[in-house]
Every structure is written in structure tokens, then in C-alpha cells.
Chain A
Amino acid sequence: MWTAILRRLVLAVMTVVAGGLISAMLVRYAPGFGTDERQLDARLSSDSIQAIRNSNAEERNVAGYFAGRAYRLLHGDLGTSRSLNRPVRQLLTERVGVTCSLAGKGLVSAWIAAALLVFAAWIAPTPALRVFTGVCSGMLLCLPAGVLALLAIVVNGPAYVCIALIVFPKVHRYLGNLVAASSTMPHIITARAKGISAPRVFFWHVVPVIRREVLALAGVSTSLAIGAAIPVEALCGIPGVGQLAWQSALARDLPLLINVSMLVVAFVVLANSGADLLAGERSQPA
């Protein structure tokens, strides 16, 4: 068991590092890297503009830069954000709690709402309820995140509700289909025929069967929630990691982006690995 855990840990670390390297390469070779809007400031002399262009010379060799960064990371130095002129460590420390809270509450709310609706549809499988939930989730899928965020501000509602509304339709749709698919399994039909109550059938016979997919969906929905946090934080002015990610992407701030990407990778790996562990999974041959 400890070997398996250690192997997962090593794989997770390698995944995080790989994520950081891929992010670094994407940023480095994306158009606009190394530019600064100060280059359009007519007051600056040619020397100053050249100095601005040269200021990120170190970052142009992305492999070398990343290796140096990784080495410094081992000593706790996450570098300095070029766009915000502040240590990345400080920026992340200030903001990670905000995003975790926002995304966490949104995720939990979305799951509770989705699970309740799916359970309700199981208990009372009327076409009206099915159409109603289908239209609701369809409507929420079609609403831009920006509009949801603005509406939240208009009604002075909590921002995590936006994340819940973004994640909910996806979770609900999957869960609904998984539960519907399991309803025609022979052992479910047998259980019902034997007169076992609908809730009991749901919790004792349906949930264990779809447990693995539900846990996988939980892992995936974590990355959905983190992704949803970016537009919500940017629009609502919430000082979280999502807002930081957006600002750093617009500014091509390599030191900040590498660290934010690695943080996101770490969260996703953690969520998906956690889902796998809870599913009690071991890798077996086909």
C-alpha cells in the first residue's frame, strides 16, 4: 500500500512539474511574449524601450529558465511577478484561500443541487420534472459566465453561487444520465419488483454501481470549478488566484503563470487522485 501511495506521489509531482514546463513553453512561444504596454508610451526614450525589451531576456530560454526556477522553487523562492512587481509567493499566499473558498463552496452547492434534483427525479419520475430540470440545466449551460457574474452583483448575491450555476448543469446532466442508465439494470429491476422502496434502491443499489463514475465526475468538476473561478473573480473583482491567472495571462507574466499553472495542476491531480483512491481502484489488466 505504501509503495502504491509513494508511486502516486512521485507521479503527481512529475505531473505538476510537467504541467509547469508545458505552461512555460506555451507562454514563451505565444505571440506577445516579452512585450510590455509601456513600449507604446511616447514619453519613453529609445534606451528605455530597449531596456524594457531586454528585461525578460532570462525568460527567453525557457528550458534554462524553468530549470533555474525549479531549483529556486526547492528553496521556497517562487520568483517575482513582472506585471505586479511583487513576490509570487506573497501573491499566492494572499489569494489561494479566497479561491479555494469560492470554488469549494460553489462546487459543493452545485453537487448538492444536482444530487437533490437527480434523487427527486428518481423518486418521482414525471415527464414534467424531467423537462423542467432539463430546461433549467440547458438554460444555465447557455448563459455566459460573465452574465451570471453580473447578475450576482446586481442582486448582491454571493459569488460562489455563480460557480455553482456554472458547474451545476454539467454535473446534473452526467449524474442524471448515469442514474437513468442504471435504472434498467437487471438487479435494479429485481429490487423494485421485490417492493424495495425507491430511496433504498437508490442508495443501496444504484449509488454503489455508479460510484466510480460519480467520483471521476467529482474530480473533473473540481477543475471545472477552478476554471469557472477565473471569469467570476475577474468580473466580480475578487482577489483570488483566478483573477491573478487572468491578469498574468494578459500580461504574459511568465514567473506568475508558471506558479499558478503548477498550483492548478496540483489541485487537479489531488482531486482526481482522491477520486481514484475513494473509488478503491487498482490498475488491472483488461
Chain B
Amino acid sequence: MRGLRTTALTVAAVLLIASLAGSLFARFDYIRQDRQHVAAGPSAAHWLGTDDLGRDRLARLLHGTRVSLLLAPAAAALSMLLALVFGAAPGFCGRFPERAAKTAIDLFLSVPWLFLLLMVRAMLPLNTSPAASVTITFLVLGILGWAAPARILLARAQSLRQSDFILLARSTGISHRQLVCRHVIPNLRPVLVAQFWISVPVFVLAEANLSILGLGVAEPMPSLGSMLRELESVLSFRGDLCRFAALVMLIVIVSSLQIVADQPEVY
């Protein structure tokens, strides 16, 4: 298992470093359109071929990975933080805070927040840079994505509240802060970790889906999500396997980091 974890860590590190360092090389210009070689297959000039506008797919993949894997985990972390505050804390308190949290979670899970995203986009200046607009999109996704993990954290916190070891810890006179830091949060960690690694690809895909409504990353900036949209014409991929590069990249990185993050739980 240790060997597997090391391999996964190495793979993830190599891909992340490549995505961060890729733009340092002049060859990797993700904007330039080579209109004579549109939707071309792999070649010496374009190792992963080109997209529908003749842009180097490898350059766009590396840059897009950087964009998505910087912002999606940040959004996921923000969601986890909000889930802790609005899910775990009320679940541990019980009574009215718990009931209020459940009601808020039910509402958050079902109301069409899509319109809030549209409102946010409408408030942005017309000439907002692609980097700023995609950052804001992920920020809003992070703010809106807390409800599902909060529900489970709330249930977990309820269990903890009623568990024997917490009762024992309280009876020893431990302070509230020590109780939370030493006993509650470590026991919430499995749920937090699981939800974090689910949220990363979910947010990447959400950004891609939102581009149907104009809320995704703006051209010419690539993201993994926008590259995944190429797969929507999967029926017409003409045997061009390079179109799956973004999907493979996302799967490899997410799976690798999940393997790295998985470890036996401690109390």
C-alpha cells in the first residue's frame, strides 16, 4: 500500500508541476490558432493534436489543469469550511441550531441557485478578465456547494454528540475548544476528506456545465471543464483519442490524490 501511495503521489506531483511549469516554454502557447491544422491529430509540432480552432491541445491541457486544479480545490475547501460551520457545529449543539441547520440545508439543496450565478455574472463589468470571472465563478460554487456535505457532517456530529467517548471526555472537564479539536474534528475528518475529493471533480464539471449559460471560463482561457465539453460531441470524435486527454488528466490526478489522501482513520 505504501508503494501504491508513493506512485500515486509521484504521478500527481509530476502532472501538477507540468501544468504549473508548462507555460514557461515558448512552445506552449495556448492562445495561438493554427488555422491550417484544425482538429489535427498528434504530430511533431502538436503532441496531442489541435482543437477545433487549431490551438495546441497539450498547451491548453496544461494551462487548463492549472486553472481548474488551483480553483476547484480552493472552492471545495471553502465548501468544507462552510459545511463545518453550518452543518457540524449545529449538529453538535442540537436543539434549535440543529433544526434550523436542517431547514437551511434542505432549502439550499433544492432552490435553483443557478439564477444567483447569473446575477453575479450580470454584475461583473463587461471587460472582466477571464481569470477574474472564472475565479469568481468557482468562489460562488464554493459558497453554494456546502449543503450536501453539511447534511452528512450534521448527522456525523449528532452521532458524536451522543457517543460514549465524547461523554467521557466531557466528564473529565475538558474545555470546549479541546473537545472540538481533539475529539470532534478528527472524527469528522473521514467525511470531510471524502467530500473534498468528490467536490473537486464536481466543481470542475459544474464550471463546464455552466458555460452553457455563459458562466464558465471565458475564451481564450482554457480549463479542464471547457476541454471536457469537447467530449459532448463524443459521437463525432472521429477516432481522435486526444480529445479524451482532459478526461484522462482529471481522472489520473483526482484518483492519485484520493489514493494519497486515504489512510487508516485515527481517533
Contact = CB atoms under 8 A, between A and B. Distances in A.
Interface of A: 11, 14-15, 18-19, 22-23, 26-27, 29-32, 127, 131, 134-135, 138-139, 141-147, 150-151, 154, 169-170, 173-174, 176-178, 180-181, 184, 209, 212-213, 215-217, 219-220, 223-224, 226, 231, 245, 249, 257, 261, 264-265, 267-269, 272, 276, 279, 281, 283-286
B113 interface: yes
A245 B193 CA distance: 32
Given A26-B111, A173-B197, A139 B251 contact: yes
Contacts, number: 185
Contacts of A286: 92-94, 161
Nearest to B122: A31
Contact of B151 (A181, A219, A245, A265): A219
B132 to A, nearest CB: 18
Interface residues of B, number: 67
A154 B231 CA distance: 14
A220 B151 contact: yes
A169 B198 contact: yes
A268 B111 CA distance: 10
Given A142-B205, A154-B235, A173-B194, A131 B4 contact: yes
B114 A284 contact: no
A2 B92 CA distance: 26
Contacts of A145: 205, 209
A249 B190 contact: no
Contacts of A264: 110
A265 B107 contact: yes
B219 interface: no
A173 B99 CA distance: 27
Given A261-B110, A261-B112, A284 B162 contact: yes
28 contacts: A11-B99, A23-B112, A26-B119, A27-B112, A29-B115, A31-B121, A134-B262, A135-B255, A138-B201, A138-B258, A142-B201, A144-B209, A144-B228, A150-B232, A173-B198, A174-B191, A177-B190, A181-B190, A184-B264, A184-B266, A213-B159, A216-B154, A224-B148, A267-B110, A269-B110, A272-B102, A272-B106, A284-B162
Contact of B116 (A26, A154, A170, A285): A26
Given A138-B258, A141-B202, A177 B193 contact: yes
Contacts of A22: 107, 111
A9 to B, nearest CB: 13
B103 interface: yes
A174 B105 CA distance: 18
Contact of B119 (A18, A29, A181, A249): A29
A213 B198 contact: no
Contacts of B198: 141, 169-170, 173-174
A180 B152 CA distance: 16
Given A219-B151, A220-B148, A283-B95, A265 B110 contact: yes
Interface string B170-212: 0000000000000000010011011101100110110011000
Q: Which of A11, A14, A216: most chain B CB closer than 10 A?
A: A216
Interface in B154-169: 154-156, 158-159, 161-162
B46 interface: no
Contacts of A174: 152, 191, 194-195, 198
Contacts of A245: 112
Contacts of B98: 283
B255 A138 contact: yes
B229 interface: yes
Given A134-B258, A272-B102, 17 more contacts: A14-B103, A19-B111, A23-B111, A26-B112, A131-B259, A134-B259, A142-B251, A143-B247, A144-B205, A144-B209, A144-B232, A170-B198, A217-B152, A219-B151, A223-B109, A261-B111, A286-B92
Interface of B: 1, 4, 92-95, 98-99, 102-103, 105-107, 109-116, 118-119, 121-122, 148, 151-152, 154-156, 158-159, 161-162, 187, 190-191, 193-195, 197-198, 201-202, 204-205, 208-209, 228-229, 231-232, 234-235, 247, 250-251, 254-255, 258-259, 262, 264-267
Given A30-B118, A151-B234, A269 B191 contact: no
A213 B92 contact: no
B106 A231 contact: no
B102 A212 contact: no
B155 A284 contact: no
B265 A127 contact: no
Given A23-B111, A150-B234, A213-B156, A31 B148 contact: no
Given A142-B205, A213-B191, A184 B265 contact: yes
Contacts of A131: 4, 259
A19 B235 CA distance: 39
